[in-house]
Structure 1
Amino acid sequence: MKIIIAPAKIMKIDRDSFLVESKPEFLDKTKVLEKFLKSRSEDQLTELWHASKKVTEQSIEQLKNMNLDERLTPAILAFSGIQYQYMAPDLFTQPALDYIQKNLRILSGFYGMLRPFDGVCPYRLELNTKMKGFIDYSLYHFWGDAIAESLFKDDDTVINLASKQYMRLVKPYLNENRKMITIDFQELKNDQWKTVGVHAKMARGEMVRFIAENQIKNPTELRDFHDFEFQFVPEVSSSDHYVFRTNFDFKRR
């Protein structure tokens, strides 16, 4: 069983908490992207990134200093979005850390797919970026079925805790021998059950920790997840879509 999650836009450098244990599987393809980005002018990068002037300037400086082989941060520490904060990998037990290196995968527009202790450097490249001037019109086309092939090489089930944008790296390549279970976190808003982005990210992070600390091997065990008072709802779930609902007051957190 593999678990997939999305990256975060905000990245940091941390070379002290954990050691880098491995290199990204698709590093050769990442170097193609690095070469392309470094060949772009400042105006071209501004158009490519669609970011504020401040973010663009920071990202250009980041790109100038980029070295894919040295002074790297473990991927699980490099991303610092809400999901990663609630996952809190720095508090994991050693068995949980071993578990995520084997089973957790971080999808990425720049790296394709990462193990938690693959060494990475900060980058800016969203998966849905329009790749004007690149050899491929989109990163979905560039990565193709490579991520799915790797995910399902030794497993037949993937737990999807990624966003819709990133699950598209896997979903088109499912078949009768490849199962993906999407986890959906919902709360009641205006008499309707809805997914609230920020709260879903919090729950995804907590669920990764729950899976790792409990060394879960069978997807049905995910139904015992109750952080933020979430409850599995069988009536609206299916074999490939697990729905969790809560009335938790997130203002308390």
Structure 2
Amino acid sequence: MQIIIAPAKKMVVDQDTFAVQGQPQYLQAAATLLAAMQRLSLKEAQALWRCSDKLAQAAYRRLLATTLAGPQTPALVAFSGLAYQAMAPDLFTAPALAYVQANLRILSGFYGVLRPFDGVVPYRLSLDERLAVGEYRDLYAFWGARLYAALDFSHGPVLDLASKEYSRAVAPYLRLGESLVAVVFAQLVDGRPKVKATLAKQARGAMVRYLAEHQVTTLAGVAGFDDPRYRFDPERSSDRQLVFIQR
């Protein structure tokens, strides 16, 4: 059972925790995007990133100095946002690390699709940021079906722990009999499920850790996610969506 998850904007360089075991599948496409971004002016880059002057200036300096050769960090520990902090991959057992390398795929606006131990460099580029590249008006058009093509639906549905802007890069290309099964973490507000983004990101990371530690390979196993903050809600769930409600 494959699992998809979104990246994080916050990234670090860490060459000590784990060794790089491979290179991203779409490295040449990343090189094309890097060249396009390095042609942007500071003003254009800031408009793309939609961030403050201070953040834009620091990110732009880093962008101009970036090379894909490194120093590289395994993707699993390069991203350090809320989901990855909750995942805590540096504490994984050897079987858990083997599980995520085989089953977890990180979707990326810059690299396309990453295995956990693919070597990456820090970048700032979300999939929904409107970077025009050659004939392509945005990153969804640039990547086309390639993110879908890198996933394996031969053993059943792919578990969707990614945010919507990343899932939508895969969903249009699904073939008959293939599906993404979304996981929703919500709390009840006036009797209706409401998703709080911060809590949902943390829960996604915690679920990856649970799946890896328990070597889960079925949706029934996913429904058994044991977390003190959430309970599985079978009545609100379906064959396309697993819903977990805050306790």
Deviation at 1:209, TM superposition (A): 0.3
Structure 1 residues 35-72: Cα deviation after superposition (integer angstroms, max 9, x where no partner): 10111122221222221111111111211221212310
Q: Which 4+ runs in 1 deviate beyond 3 A?
A: 132-135, 153-156
More displaced 10-residue stretch of structure 1: 118-127 or 222-231: 222-231
CA distance in 1, matches of 2:132, 2:147: 23
Code of the aligned partner of 2:186: Q
Structure 1 residues 136-183: Cα deviation after superposition (integer angstroms, max 9, x where no partner): 101011111111112036543200000011101111112223121100
Residue 95 of structure 1 aligns with which residue? 95
1:166 to 2:166 alignment:
yes
CA distance in 2, matches of 1:156, 1:34: 35
- How many residues are treated as equivalent by the alignment? 247
Residue 7 of structure 1 aligns with which residue? 7
Residue 62 of structure 2 aligns with which residue? 62
Code of the aligned partner of 1:214: H
CA distance in 2, matches of 1:117, 1:24: 9
> 2:33·2:133 contact (CA, 8 Å) conserved in 1?
no
CA distance in 2, matches of 1:59, 1:168: 27
**TM-score of the two chains, using structure 1 as the length reference:** 0.93
> 2:113·2:150 contact (CA, 8 Å) conserved in 1?
no
Give 3-state SS (helix, strand or coil) of 1:185's partner.
strand
For structure 2, the 5+ residue unaligned runs are none
CA distance in 1, matches of 2:62, 2:101: 27
Q: How do 1:208-227 and structure 2 match up within 5 A?
A: 208-227=208-227
**TM-score of the two chains, using structure 2 as the length reference:** 0.96
> 1:48·1:132 contact (CA, 8 Å) conserved in 2?
no
For structure 1, the 5+ residue unaligned runs are 248-253
CA distance in 2, matches of 1:81, 1:128: 18
> 1:130·1:138 contact (CA, 8 Å) conserved in 2?
yes
* Residues 1:59 and 1:97: Cα distance change in structure 2 (over 3 Å): same
CA distance in 2, matches of 1:68, 1:219: 37
> 2:2·2:105 contact (CA, 8 Å) conserved in 1?
yes
CA distance in 2, matches of 1:155, 1:139: 28
CA distance in 2, matches of 1:84, 1:133: 30
> 1:152·1:178 contact (CA, 8 Å) conserved in 2?
no
CA distance in 2, matches of 1:172, 1:156: 17
CA distance in 2, matches of 1:71, 1:155: 35
